């Protein structure tokens, strides 16, 4: 068998934790232990099955405790996207009012696609920092056919935190919050009926989502039922991965005060440095934001070229630009905010990023910008 070929010889500083955080050491340890003890079908009654069931129950308990919710409010899905789809559409399926979902312009595509597929959209605009206008959200929510309001806890591309839970919604209009970008890093807001999270974004394994349905919320499974342990979800439970996700979540919650403060200061450092580069648009709320994430757009530069230029210098970053094909739409988040959509860079720090790595990135920014602008004559 061939191994995985390392494309880049130089060690890479990974600055794309918002796409996926590397596996937390606590998750690795839990995963390896659970692979040996949690492989059997947790529905069965024999000893190996009971061992798997115990691990699954422990994972659920740990997630509930870490998030401050009830154990019976926690379901494990096959991804964050699946948690969003079934979480939101389950509110629509059981609504007595109608099938309109009021949502912000900057929701993740998982929300937008779910609404396209199984509901009707009523979109609320955002300001230049990406925050929804609260009066607009409430005004739209009182519409007669509104089944649910969907508002993210924090934006996955620009980091801006929404005031979820501070809205006076009608009593019979439930709130769905996509917490994929913030779960573990920040406490859950108040006021939601259903919430979704994604384990690989907090340092758990990929393939585990978390669906939270508040006790008493009017919600029913919008997809075909399955005869498993948990009737909110479908498919054979990935028990070892669920335990690993839970272990990572507990660890991240325990560490977050210290990690967030460190990351917040490091992002402030990069933000100030990037803002000094001419013709760079620094995007998103500077203060009320995810601690680890920074987005900026460089005028006159192609987004793919900027990712490549940083990669050649040993930095892995993401971009919301879509300059390679004229048919590709740019990031709907950047567009909604009125931000520059080309030359976009999203930086997202891992929990163990060093100050030296961040300083090296800061030093590389003007070099990369100068290199990529040199051909434009500007």
Partner 1 sequence: MTPALELDCRGLPCPRPVIELARHLGDVAVGETLAVVADDPAARHDVPAWCRMRSQRYDGEDAAADGVPRYLVTRLS
Q: CA 124, CA 106: separation in Å to the nearest integer?
A: 9
**Binding of partner 1 by 321 (CB under 8 A):** yes
Contact 322, 303 (CB under 8 A): yes
Q: CA 249, CA 334: separation in Å to the nearest integer?
A: 30
Residue closer to partner 1 (CB basis): 36 or 329: 329
**Binding of partner 1 by 377 (CB under 8 A):** yes
Contact 30, 251 (CB under 8 A): no
Task: Give alpha helix (H) positions in the chain.
Answer: 25-37, 47-67, 80-93, 109-118, 134-141, 239-275, 303-312, 332-337, 355-373
Residue closer to partner 1 (CB basis): 227 or 329: 329
Q: State phi, psi for 31 to the nearest 5 degrees.
A: -65, -45
Residue closer to partner 1 (CB basis): 77 or 160: 160
**Binding of partner 1 by 334 (CB under 8 A):** yes
Which tokens hold the place of 234? 């479908």
Among 246, 249, 323, 369, the one annotated catalytic: 323
Query: Residue 128 Cβ, how far from partner 1 at the closest point, in Å?
Result: 9
- The SS3 call for residue 154 is strand
Which segment (6-14, 27-35, 51-59, 333-341) binds partner 1 by CB under 8 A?
333-341
The 273-312 site mask, x for binding partner 1 (CB under 8 A), equals ------x-x---------------x-xxxx----------
Which tokens hold the place of 88? 């939101």
**Binding of partner 1 by 374 (CB under 8 A):** no
**Binding of partner 1 by 329 (CB under 8 A):** yes
Residue closer to partner 1 (CB basis): 72 or 127: 127
**Binding of partner 1 by 335 (CB under 8 A):** yes
**Binding of partner 1 by 319 (CB under 8 A):** no
Query: Residue 26 Cβ, how far from partner 1 at the closest point, in Å?
Result: 42
The yes-or-no answer on residue 323 being catalytic is yes
Alpha-carbon dihedral 92, 98, 104, 107, rounded to 10 degrees: 20
Neighbours of 211 (CB within 10 A): 25
Query: Residue 323 Cβ, how far from partner 1 at the closest point, in Å?
Result: 4
Contact 238, 207 (CB under 8 A): yes
Which segment (2-10, 46-54, 130-138, 338-346) binds partner 1 by CB under 8 A?
338-346
Residue closer to partner 1 (CB basis): 1 or 378: 378
Which segment (18-26, 38-46, 142-150, 320-328) binds partner 1 by CB under 8 A?
320-328
Instruction: Give the up-direction half-sphere exposure of residue 58: CA atoms within 13 A in the CB hemisphere.
Output: 16
Q: CA 360, CA 354: separation in Å to the nearest integer?
A: 10
Q: Which of residues 343-362 bind partner 1 (CB under 8 A)?
A: 343
**Binding of partner 1 by 73 (CB under 8 A):** no
Contact 284, 129 (CB under 8 A): yes
Active site residues: 323
Enumerate binding residues for partner 1 (CB under 8 A): 279, 281, 297, 299-302, 321-330, 334-335, 338-343, 376-378
């Amino acid at each position: 068998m061939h191994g995985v070929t390392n494309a880049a010889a130089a060690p890479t500083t990974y600055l794309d934790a918002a796409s996926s955080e590397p596996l937390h050491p606590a998750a690795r340890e839990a995963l390896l232990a659970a692979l040996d003890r949690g492989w059997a079908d947790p529905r069965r009654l024999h000893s190996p099955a009971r061992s798997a069931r115990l691990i699954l129950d422990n994972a659920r308990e740990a997630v509930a405790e870490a998030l401050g919710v009830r154990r019976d409010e926690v379901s494990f899905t096959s991804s964050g996207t699946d948690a969003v789809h079934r979480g939101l559409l389950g509110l629509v399926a059981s609504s007595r009012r109608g099938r309109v979902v009021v949502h912000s312009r900057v929701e993740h595509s998982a929300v937008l696609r779910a609404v396209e597929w199984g509901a009707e959209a009523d979109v609320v605009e955002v300001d230049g920092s990406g925050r929804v206008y609260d009066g607009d959200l409430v005004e739209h929510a009182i519409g007669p056919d509104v089944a649910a309001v969907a508002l993210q806890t924090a934006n996955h591309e620009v980091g801006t935190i929404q005031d979820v839970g501070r809205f006076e919604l009608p009593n019979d209009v439930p709130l769905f919050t996509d917490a994929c970008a913030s779960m573990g890093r920040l406490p859950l807001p108040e006021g939601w009926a259903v919430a979704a999270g994604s384990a690989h974004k907090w340092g758990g394994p990929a393939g585990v989502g978390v669906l939270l349905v508040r006790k008493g919320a009017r919600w029913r499974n919008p997809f075909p039922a399955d005869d498993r342990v948990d009737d909110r979800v479908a498919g054979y439970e990935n028990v070892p991965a669920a335990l690993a996700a839970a272990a990572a979540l507990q660890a991240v919650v325990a560490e977050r005060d210290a990690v967030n403060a460190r990351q917040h200061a490091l992002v402030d450092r990069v933000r100030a440095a990037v803002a000094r580069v001419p013709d760079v648009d620094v995007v998103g709320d500077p203060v009320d934001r995810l601690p680890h994430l920074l987005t900026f757009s460089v005028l006159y530069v192609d987004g793919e070229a900027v990712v490549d230029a940083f990669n050649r210098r040993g930095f892995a970053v993401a971009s919301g630009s879509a300059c390679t094909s004229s048919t590709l739409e740019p990031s709907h988040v950047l567009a909604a905010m009125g931000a520059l959509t080309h030359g976009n860079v999203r930086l997202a720090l891992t929990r163990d990023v060093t100050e030296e790595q961040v300083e090296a990135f800061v030093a590389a920014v003007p070099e990369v910008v100068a290199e990529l602008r040199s051909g434009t004559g500007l």
